[in-house]
Amino acid sequence: MKNRGSRTSISSGFAALALFAALLVAGPAAPPARAQSDDAKGALNATQILALQKKFQDAGITPDMPVLSALVADNATFIHDSGLLQTKAEFINAITSGKMKAISYKMKESKVVFFKGGAIVLAVDDLTVAPSRTLHLRISTVWLRKLDGWQIILNQSTSLAPESKPGDAR
């Protein structure tokens, strides 16, 4: 009988090694405080990137198709906590049709990591969806700087255990 725990450990180790190798091949990262400026829109700082993230999340709640369409690259991929994989068109259609109905979100523990040509927003989101279920998620959103502005090329969420409240037994 195989030990599934060791398979997960090996898979995790391999994934970490692959990420390290990719970063090594990619070369040194851009300065941590600001993305490099080599296009018409220029560099943004962490506060500005987080403002873009908020604009994207607000447009998902409204829903605002023109804003979503402008902020999401045509070749973007969305990976949900359920494992569902969506293209830009599928994601926007799910939101604008009401199939995926976000009511509110609270982003916390946010951090921006810059790389040459883009930035990654890492955060914890409490996302309330219809009818009234709150998802506690760790999100990663990859923003790519393009000549006509910044766009999302990847958005991934992973479910976290619900936050414990004072007095909850562990």
pTM value surpassing 0.75: no
Q: What is the pLDDT of residues 49-108, one digit of tens each?
A: 999 999 999 999 999 999 999 999 999 999 999 999 999 999 999 998 989 888 889 999
Which run of H or of E encompasses 152? strand 149-159
Closest C-alpha among 108, 140, 119 to residue 32: 119
pLDDT at residue 18, rounded to an integer = 42
Beta-sheet pairing, 133-146 with 102-115 = unpaired
Q: From edge to edge, which strands make up the β-sheet containing 72-79?
A: 85-87, 72-79, 149-159, 133-146, 118-129, 102-115
pLDDT at residue 17, rounded to an integer = 40
- Kindly list the structural domains of the chain, giving each domain's residue range(s) and its CATH number in brackets, ordered by start: 31-159 (3.10.450.50)
Q: What is the pLDDT of residues 26-39, one digit of tens each?
A: 444 444 444 444 44
CB 102 within 8 A of CB 128: yes
Closest C-alpha among 57, 72, 34, 54 to residue 149: 72
pLDDT at residue 77, rounded to an integer = 98
